[in-house]
Amino acid sequence: MSNKFVVPGFVAQAIPPYTEGMRIGLLGGSFNPPHEAHRAISRFALTRLQLDRVWWLVTPGNPLKENGTLHELGARMQAARDVANDPRIEVSCLESVIRTRYTIDTINTLRRRLTGLRFVWIMGADNLAQFHRWQDWRRIAAQVPMAVIDRPPQSFRALASPAAKALARYRVPESEAALLADRRAPAWVFLTGLKLNLSSTGLRNPDGSWKGTK
């Protein structure tokens, strides 16, 4: 598989540049649109988890969401690069290359191809609340350590969710977050302290267009 592929009107890297031994955070999503919370979560994770990079994995479509108002992939990629604006944050369309919408397939591909990297899956508390609905969610947890970023008012719902309860014995103290990338999965940490409450849904108009754009 070439590291480069073509989206109509846009050339992107499937797998961002890396060096062996890097600690990489993976943040998946539709990024429809990308926004400051994505950037804040990524920079928060870089610091708290002592990561070298965060890769934004822009999905061709979320199986758990209505995708009728999803913007074209190239547009979301370019917008994500504009919002990220940090050399430590890379934007990727890997899921389009491997033709999947499921996180488990993405993680399996990365772990198989990039054995010298240490990955951490990053998600917001709102995603932990519905993690039990993800395809093969138990296998995801068994493949890669996970960092859950608190997003009030989702805290209670997330920590009371079926997945959080099932994985409770693998939860790592927040004080040990910097060691998460070195841990063998399953392992996860719930990170608090980031006070930013934005969502892509709130930044879309009723017709699906992004606010502030025509």
Distance separating alpha carbons of residues 172 and 210, to the nearest angstrom? 38
CB atoms within 10 A of CB 178: 14
Residue 172, both tokens = 């790592």
pTM: 0.83
Q: Phi first, then psi: what are they for 210, rounded to 5°? A: -85, 135
> Can you give the pLDDT at residue 68?
54
Residue 152, both tokens = 């009030």
For residues 102 and 63, is the Cβ–Cβ distance under 8 A?
A: yes
The C-alpha angle 183, 188, 192, rounded to 5 degrees, equals 125
Q: Helices 73-84 and 36-48: crossing angle, nearest 10°?
A: 60
> Can you give the pLDDT at residue 11?
32
Among positive and negative, which fits the CA dihedral 43, 138, 58, 110? positive
| CATH architecture of the domain with range 26-199 | 3-Layer(aba) Sandwich (3.40)
CA distances, 80 to each of 37, 58, 85 (Å) = 12, 8, 9
Cis peptide before 186 (omega within 30 of 0): yes
Distance separating alpha carbons of residues 109 and 127, to the nearest angstrom? 22
Please give the single-letter amino acid code of residue 101: R
* Tens place of pLDDT per residue across the chain (214 aa): 444 444 433 333 589 999 999 999 999 999 998 999 999 999 999 999 999 999 999 998 766 555 556 888 889 999 999 999 999 999 998 988 888 889 999 999 999 999 999 999 999 999 999 999 999 999 999 999 999 999 888 899 999 999 999 999 999 999 999 999 999 999 999 999 997 665 544 443 444 443 444 3
Name 56's bridge partners.
27, 91
Q: Phi first, then psi: what are they for 16, rounded to 5°? A: -65, 165
> Can you give the pLDDT at residue 151?
86
> Can you give the pLDDT at residue 207?
45
> Can you give the pLDDT at residue 200?
44
- The SS3 assignment for 61 reads coil
